[in-house]
Amino acid sequence: MSDEPGANRSEPARPRGAAGASGRPAAVDARELTVERGGRPVLHGITLTVTPGTVTGLLGPSGCGKTTLLRSVVGTQARVHGRLSVLGRPAGDPGLRSRIGYVTQEPSVHRDLTVRQNLDHYAAVLGVGRRRRAADVARVLDDVDLRDRAGALTADLSGGQRSRASLAVALLGEPELLVLDEPTVGLDPVLRRDLWRLFHRLAAGRGTTLLVSSHVMDEADRCDRLLLMRDGRILADDTPDGLRRATGAATVEDAFLRLVETPPARGGSR
């Protein structure tokens, strides 16, 4: 990982974009990634690597560029410059469609369909065969604890249940990479806890890589690794403990504030 401020120096160095211990290619590998919108830069030369099979948190205040970065990873962002590979392929490659699950901030389910009908529809879109489809739908309903609401119209669900239904859609087909844009914001503490437990079960049990954004700093310790972001730049790429040690701070929030107050070493990401 990076040798810039905030890097975890307890880890052995390895080349950028190298495979993890499993031999799998980096889940996400970005080099000098820049995005422009309306003639002005939104992301400023970001360089980062997301290790396979980890829960990586992308944390930073609202408006700092988190959603733009996630959209770049899933291949839906325009005016992206630099190098960006995802699961060993260029971002946006058609071959990645069935390998990535993406959950946006707004629930992406049809309100006039039941939860099960939504899942059947999206499974068909993904090309999941009929024989496999019923088992796949049953699996994701269990994953997000919505089996008892499978026959309910999505319009009749609570906000938290609709968020879980969107997550269930993203889990169809067992994607290798889950990109989740603030999936727990606005949820009650019990549901937030249960979702984070699910994220770690997916990483530990299935080897899924999760890239999860949030502007809530108290979620930092739920992540294996953190990318701290501000004003379109990565301030730090480290574990929660490594970040606290590197900055001498007691909490990740305090570490973030100390990094904000430290001038960057150069114009790109730290």
Which pLDDT tens digit goes with each residue over 168-205? 999 998 999 999 999 988 788 888 898 999 999 999 99
Check if the beta carbon of residue 190 is closer than 8 Å to that of residue 221. no
Please name the CATH architecture into which domain 28-261 falls: 3-Layer(aba) Sandwich (3.40)
Burial class for 38, CB neighbours closer than 10 Å (0-12, 13-18, 19+): exposed
Digit-coded pLDDT (tens) for 215-268: 888 899 999 999 999 999 999 999 999 999 999 999 999 999 999 887 555 444
pLDDT band of residue 22 (cuts 50, 70, 90) is low
Bridge partners for 190 per DSSP: none
- Does residue 209 surpass a pLDDT of 70? yes
pTM: 0.85
Check residue 268 and give its pLDDT.
42
